[in-house]
Structure 1
Amino acid sequence: MGDYTDALRRRVAERQATSLPQLIVEELENMIINGALKGGDRINESALAMRLGVSRGPVREACRQLERSRLAEFRANRGMFVREISVEQAAQLYDIRASLFGLAGRLAAERAGEDDVAGLLDVVERLRDCADMDHYYPLNVDLHRRLVALSGNPRLVELYDDISKELHLFRRHGLETDAAREISNAQHGEIVERIAAGDAVTVGRLMEEHILAGKSRMLGGSAHGVPRAVSNKE
């Protein structure tokens, strides 16, 4: 933890004059992705500022940015909290995300070169070797971002990322079991194979189905005791 904090503080120092609030936003987003912050958790601005070795001003601005991106919400007289959304809201976001992912897949299949495919296959192999959820989940997020980035459409990347951030907690829940992760990564492998073949129609269909499978896992979990209001993770 000490080495990580030291490295983080060095990054803070490098960006102090220009984009410090954005760096803090990225750190908070990583904490949400990694499960260190969960839906309903209070964001302790003082503790975070102390950890980073900065004043509370940049931390407060970062929290406002998170609020604008719908990852956090201010509660009067209580402070800033990681946002919670209902299962019904999550299901709607899954549908939007599935369509965006499918579109990205069709575009990626038309643009991807050999080096791109090799990079994707490397991530799929690393995912196969992940022993637990804490290692699998951030790498899974990275693979999805790589796939969408291959679309070559910056606005699509932005829209997809915004929707995904709101669903992080749900996605993490849907991949908790070994079997779910194996199935999900098998789908990744099939997607990359079709990208290598340049089969845009099939890639689009597979990538849309991949997200809808996550929606099904989330809805199945909600029927077996998952709270009706959970935070933003898929």
Structure 2
Amino acid sequence: MPDNSEPMTALQRRVAERQATSLPHLIVEELEQMIITGALKGGDRINESALAMRLGVSRGPVREACRHLERSRLVEFRANRGMFVREISMAEAAQLYDIRASLFGLAGRLAATRVTTADADHLRARIDQLESAGSMDDYYPLNVDLHRAIVALAGNPRLTDLYDNISKELHLFRRHGLEPPTARHTSNEQHRQILDHLRAGDSDEAAKLMEEHILAGKHRMLAEEVSD
């Protein structure tokens, strides 16, 4: 546990509050956030001792969190070396993009029949926030949250889980694909078009635009691979 003579960090306070019930889950969330923000990249080793010290906990909950992330295919155990953030090939990333595009399109088809004026206003505020994001570090987590909010409006928890699991495996590639400011602006304009059709209840067009939105990310990824 952290030294009581030193002020607790915000993260350590969260750990203390949830120590008895969901500590491994909190650590999973923290590691996922580190992957989303790029603090952990594909191929990086997860130092369980350092992470446990940072959180002010024993290594047991950290190890349990890593096993959970291994089951969700975000990390992998390498014999005699430890736990690492998983690296995926370009071919596997392309396959995941295709699955994610179909799931996002389905979410749009369902959400268009359910979106309220309040929902649309909430999404528009999120899109405006994205437009004002000054850097990739600001933009990317907001972009992830916007997509999750849209999928949640479909009202299908199993679809949300499937979408989240596929998206988590693509965080490293998606972050790279949105690096140029022009790409971020184009992506956000697509968000506005999607919202217009969701608000109008146009299921077919919303589904089409949302699937194309994800496939545009796939095309950026493939184009960057060629240019490299």
> Deviation at 1:220?
0.6
The residue aligned with 2:26 is: 23
Query: Residues of 2 paired with 1:32 and 1:223: CA distance?
Result: 25
Determine if the alignment matches structure 1 residue 43 to structure 2 residue 46: yes
Percent sequence identity over aligned pairs: 71
> Deviation at 1:64?
0.3
Determine if the alignment matches structure 1 residue 199 to structure 2 residue 202: yes
> Deviation at 1:166?
0.3
Count of aligned pairs: 221
The residue aligned with 1:133 is: 136
SS at structure 2 position matched to 1:198 = coil
Query: Residues of 2 paired with 1:24 and 1:222: CA distance?
Result: 33
Query: Residues of 1 paired with 2:125 and 2:76: CA distance?
Result: 37
The residue aligned with 1:157 is: 160
The superposition leaves residues 106-158 of structure 1 with CA deviations (integer Å, 9 ceiling, x where unpaired) of 11110010111001000100001011100000000000000000000000000
Amino acid corresponding to residue 37 of structure 2 in structure 1? N
The residue aligned with 2:180 is: 177
Query: Residues of 2 paired with 1:224 and 1:73: CA distance?
Result: 29
Query: Residues of 2 paired with 1:107 and 1:10: CA distance?
Result: 39
Query: Residues of 2 paired with 1:222 and 1:74: CA distance?
Result: 27
Runs of 4+ in 1 over 4 A off after TM superposition: none
Query: Residues of 2 paired with 1:115 and 1:14: CA distance?
Result: 33
Query: Residues of 1 paired with 2:74 and 2:127: CA distance?
Result: 28
Query: Residues of 2 paired with 1:118 and 1:6: CA distance?
Result: 35
Query: Residues of 2 paired with 1:136 and 1:153: CA distance?
Result: 27
SS at structure 2 position matched to 1:206 = helix
Query: Residues of 2 paired with 1:220 and 1:173: CA distance?
Result: 12
Amino acid corresponding to residue 180 of structure 1 in structure 2? A
Determine if the alignment matches structure 1 residue 97 to structure 2 residue 100: yes
SS at structure 2 position matched to 1:84 = coil
SS at structure 1 position matched to 2:206 = helix
| TM norm structure 1 | 0.94
Query: Residues of 2 paired with 1:222 and 1:169: CA distance?
Result: 14
| TM norm structure 2 | 0.96
The residue aligned with 2:170 is: 167
Query: Residues of 1 paired with 2:139 and 2:10: CA distance?
Result: 23
> Deviation at 1:208?
0.1
Amino acid corresponding to residue 193 of structure 1 in structure 2? D
SS at structure 1 position matched to 2:77 = strand
Query: Residues of 2 paired with 1:179 and 1:48: CA distance?
Result: 36
SS at structure 1 position matched to 2:133 = coil
2:71 to 68, 72, 83: 68
5+ residue gaps, structure 1, are 226-234
5+ residue gaps, structure 2, are 1-7
Determine if the alignment matches structure 1 residue 83 to structure 2 residue 86: yes
> Deviation at 1:223?
1.2
